[in-house]
Amino acid sequence: MKNIVIRGFDMADWESAAELFQQPRCIWGTLRLPYASRDVLRKRLDTADPNRHRLAAILDGKVVGLLSLNQGEGRRRHVGEIGLFVHDSFHGRGIGRKLLEAAVDLGENWLGLTRIELTVFVDNAAAIKLYESCGFEREGVARQFGLRDGVLVDAYYMARLRRP
């Protein structure tokens, strides 16, 4: 998608970003709860934290993807944790890859991160394939990691290590 712009998230975009969190695939593939109120979503997005770096994928003025890169503190300052969301209507179009590549660049080349980690449900094959193609490796399994539709689902711990 040539017209996609990756940039820092701005609160002026909060409504279209909040829409992402209510998409069925977002709820299915993450720990987000359905039926979150607009107030809850706005507060979540409006939380200022100097260690949270949010990137937005913008198409025609609308947020179609969002990535959070949360940098650790203290003795885990070298670690970043990723959360990635793509609008249901835009899966499979390279938006997740663009966001992930931008986050890896930001983390490794500007924040000095040597480890970027994430968790992903074991049945989210498309996300796992994307993460592995960007250098992430499976490190372990978290059994009964999250509840989804009344069933406890396992997740993989994955990480990308920057080698000196």
pLDDT in tens, 42-54: 777 777 788 999 9
Give Rg (Cα) of the chain. 15
Mean pLDDT of 18-22: 82
User: Chain-wide mean pLDDT for the chain?
Assistant: 91
The DSSP result for 11-71, as a single string, is GGGHHHHHHHHTSHHHHHHSSPPTT--HHHHHHHHT---TTEEEEEEEETTEEEEEEEEEE
d(CA 93, CA 22): 20
Distance of CA 127 to the CA centre of its chain: 10
pLDDT in tens, 115-157: 999 999 999 999 999 999 999 999 999 999 999 999 999 999 9
Which of 80 and 19 is assigned the larger pLDDT? 80
Residue 23 is encoded by which pair of tokens? 């998409």
Looking at the predicted structure, is the pLDDT value of residue 33 above 90? no
Looking at the predicted structure, is the pLDDT value of residue 39 above 70? yes
Name the band, by pLDDT with cuts 50, 70 and 90, for residue 1: low
**Is 5-118 CATH 3.40.630.30?**
yes
Residue 114, phi then psi, degrees to nearest 5: -110, -5
Task: DSSP letter for 123, please.
Answer: T
Proportion of the chain in helix, strand, coil states, percent, rounded to 5: 35, 35, 30
CA dihedral 125, 118, 11, 9 (to 10 degrees): -80
H-only helix segments in 106-157: 125-133
pTM: 0.89
